[in-house]
Every structure is written in C-alpha cells, then in structure tokens.
Amino acid sequence: MSYIDEYNKWFQSPSLSAEERAELKSIANDPKEIEDRFFAPLSFGTAGLRGIMGTGLHRMNIHVIRHATQGFASLIRALGPDAAGRGVIICYDCRKNSPLFAREAASVMAGNGIKVRIFDALRPTPELSFAIREYGAIAGINITASHNTKEYNGYKVYWEDGAQLPPEHAGAVASEMAKIDIFTGVKLKNYEKALAEGQIELIGEEIDRKFLDKVLAHAIDRECVRKAADNLKIVYTPFHGTGYRFVPEVLKKLGIKHLYPVPEQMVLDGDFPTVKSPNPEYPEGFHLAIELAREKDASLIIGTDPDSDRLGIMVKKGDNYISISGNQLGVLLMDYIINARKAAGTLPGNAAVLKSIVTTKMSDKIAHMNGVYIEDTFTGFKFMAERIKEFEASGEKKVIFSYEESYGYMVGDFVRDKDAVTASMLVAEMAASYHLKGMTLYDAMQSLYEKYGYHCEKTLNLVMPGLDGLKKMRKLMETLRTQPPKEIGGTAVLRLTDYLPGTVLDVKSGAAAESRLRGSNVLYFELEDGTDFIVRPSGTEPKIKVYIMVKGQCADDCGEKISVYEKYAKTLEG
C-alpha cells in the first residue's frame, strides 16, 4: 500500500475522531508531510516504539498504541493462561498523552483477557522494572519518551525479568503487528468496566514503599553523609518529570540536610516550559539550577530526566559550575562503589561491572587495578540484564554496577534498567565522602585521572530527521561498512570490528576473525594511536551517533586529539 493509500485509509476510517480527521485534512495538499506520516509504521524493536505525537502511521497516537499492544498481547496469550494471569504492569510519565496512552494499552490488554496492574499516577521507569519482578508479572509497558523533546512520546516494553524486551520477543511482536489491521484487528474492553471487575488493578503506595526500601538498602556509608550533612549543599531538578517525589525523599532519608529542589522544575509539565530539552546531558537545561546553586552556595547539582532513568550532574569549580560527562560520572561512581564497599567489607569476591562497548576504557583500568571483573555488552541495559541473569544462574559473578556513557547507571541488580533514583542517592553519598576530604566531585575526577591515566571522550550526534534522514543514515553505514577508511583524522586504522556480522578485520593484513559479540549495527575502528572511533545509528532517535575515545599524557593532549577526530566525524554528515 502506498503512503497516499495509507493516508486515505486513515482519513476514511470511522475509528478516527473529528479532531484527528481535521488534522489529516489540514495536510491534504502537503504530499511531503503525508509521506512523512504514512510512508511506513514506526519500527517496533527491543525498546518498543518512539516517535513524534500526531495522527498517522508513523506517529505516536492511540491507534498506534492499540496496535502495538494487540501485538504484544498476542505474544503473551500464546504462552498460555498462566502468562495471561500473571499479567502486565503499566507505567507512564509526565508527557502529553501519557496517561491516555497508558489507559488505552490497559484496555487492549484487558480486551485480550490479560490481567493488568497500572500505576495510580506517574512513576519513574526503574520502579516499573522493580514492580515487574516484585509482582511476578510476565511483562510491562511504560509510556515515556525518556529524555526526548516535548513533541515525542514512546512505548517501552519489558519482559518478566524487568529488562526491556529481548530481540526474539520484539521480533514476535512486530510479526504479530504485521498481521493485524490497525483499526479492525484490535480487541478493546472498556477501561472503567475492566477496573470495576478487577481485571485492571490500580497499584501505588505498597510497591512505592518496597521500591524505596530497596533503593535505600544500597547506601554504602551513611556515616560519611551524617558527618558531612551540616555543610554539604545539593540542588536538584527533575526537569518537570517523575523524579520530583522519590529523589528528594531518598536523599533526605539518606541524611542530606541541605537539599534545594528547583521550584519551577518541580512542577509536572509535559511541555517542559523551562528547558528546550529535558535531557540532563545538556548543560543549558541546568540554568535555573545553577542560579539556585549560586544563591545557596551548593557544591553539587543533580538532574534527572522526565522518566528518571538518566542522571546528569554539575559540580562547583571555583565560582562556576561545570558538567561532568556520562563517562566521568560512571568512573567516579564505579571507583567509589568498589572502594567504599571494600572499606565496608561488603564487596563480593566475585564482584563484576558491566558497561557498553561505547563507554570509556578508563573503567577497564579501574577494574583491573582494583581486582574487579569487567565486561562489555552492546548498548542497552537489556544486554546487561541478560548477562546479570546468566551470572545469577551460574553463580560465577555478582554484578555491583552497570553503566553507559549516555548518563545511564544501574546499582546492583534489583532493577534491570537505568535507575536515576538509586544513582542520585549514591552520587550524594559519594559527594559527602569527598566533601569530608575537602574535595568536590570535580577534584575527585582530577584525582582519578592522576591515578588511572588521562582518558577523554566525545559523543557527536549527526541528526538526520524524516524519511530523507533515514535513507541518509542507511547510506552512511553502508558506505563505511563496504568502503571502510584506511585512516581517520590522519591516523591509520588498525582494526575494524563490524558488530552486525561479528567480524574483526585487520586492515593492514586483511586477515579476518570473529568478535565475541555480534548482531548490532555498530562499526568500531581502532586507530594506531590508541583511539577508538565508533559509529552507530541511534535506536530511538533519527541520528547517527559517533563516539570518540582517546588516551593521552594530560588533559590538553587528550583535548587536541578529540579536536582532530571531531573534525573528521563532522565530515560524515555530508
């Protein structure tokens, strides 16, 4: 079916509301917009769906939500009555339409005879992961677009282990969706009726208490917090999102006395009116937090994204506040957790750390110097969760910390996804520990460079929106794969690992070998000077991500190398 045929099908469907039909009528003379909305469905993958909200096949709306949920329900029903009885847990964030989309998903699950537990109000992503395991549910759904801008919403899907859907199940859902008509193939049950009959159950306070108790149990050294509490000052912002309640509560229970939430950003609002993007990766979003930090003379600013799975911080340096990157915060937390647990006598003898292949190799140095096992996985906490499950089954390793450079951190294994609530608590505890030594977290980072060597990383986003962007992204990856450069930024390429087929090519000799990991669209170039240059399409946004990881004699040396490779990376935009 052509995109014009698809547009007409939607326009004529009795399932559309008057408002939706008017929206489609308004673009009747705009073929480019029609193509952009109807050229293909949003791709369903291990992270579910994510897209701009609006009416159309390639947009986030109630029809797309229902369609995806019907496909997901078919997978669950195929497992038998026990799976349907165990049911699904549904969560949502502060975004526009999130409560509506959550109710629509619940109505479809109920229409398919599947038990539903839905949170009575918005909650952080990590609590959903915890709740799935706590209730013994077969699956979970989270309506969120995480850190994306206000135009977006998403549909994250989880399996019984509390991790995002494994590839084989995501493929099964996508296959089911292809068989189902988006309007006539969906089974619905009235939400209020299903609620009254007990097929849909509201959950909240009971699981909140259990989740928060588990978070607080991961504090390592409360005594250092008690000693530092009179003088340590922390500013917090949830960027209008779900961290507004739990993060301040956890920090206060930890013992932080001087916590200053940013009032304007404690207001739940899917328009995110005080920021261009609610992403803690971007320093400009912290402008109100910086003003408050200066007023209170705080040494640390903590920010969590709208669904509270990502965490970013800014720290005081002289009279200014500077960003700590995702890689830097990861190594700070990793080093702190290992050494604090050593001091407390709680570090397992088989302790392990997991990180993604695009995360700094400085963490490898920390692990090796501290006698802790470390392993790389593909990008995505579902892959880390898989390894945790395998380690649990074998008893071989006990994972104490997992992280990605993209501001995602997971402490322990009670949650199987990024968890900014627990990470915020450990950051505050770490800040207290260094405060007692007369150090800020900026000072702490410099001390780690002195101890473990200078590493520097830069992530570039080559944004390629729309249908043309998708074509451009595919072309770039194809070119780099079939005609790989022999040098990058004037430095020879030694090896190219193509993680899709799982091959390692020695560029000089032409010899090929197999990589340990395979099945992900990532190209990993290792250069003669020790630099790693990595290219992969984002799994959730219309962009190519380029990761540059260098080692040097000092910070300036690293900075010069980053500059050279950054210039080369920008040429890939075309």
Catalytic residue among 107, 146, 325, 363: 146
Residues β-bridged to residue 155: 49, 143
Residue 60 is given by DSSP the state: B
Judge contact between 161 and 385, C-beta under 8 A: yes
Q: 553 burial class (0-12, 13-18, 19+ CB within 10 angstroms)? A: exposed
N residues, the chain: 574
- The helix/strand/coil state of 306 is coil
CA distance 535 to 378: 13
- The phi and psi torsions of 189 (rounded to 5 degrees) equal -125, 140
Which of 4, 55, 9 is closest to 29 using CA atoms? Answer: 4
Q: Where are the alpha helices (DSSP H) in 59-122?
A: 62-78, 81-86, 98-111
- The phi and psi torsions of 450 (rounded to 5 degrees) equal -65, -35
Judge contact between 361 and 455, C-beta under 8 A: yes
Strands in 311-317's sheet, in edge-to-edge order, are 258-261, 233-237, 300-304, 311-317, 320-324
Residues β-bridged to residue 336: none
Q: Give the tokens for residue 223.
A: 């005594």
Residue 44 is given by DSSP the state: P
Whether residue 146 lies in the annotated active site = yes
Q: Which helix (H) or strand (E) holds 432?
A: helix 420-435
- The helix/strand/coil state of 21 is helix
Active-site residues, by number, are 146
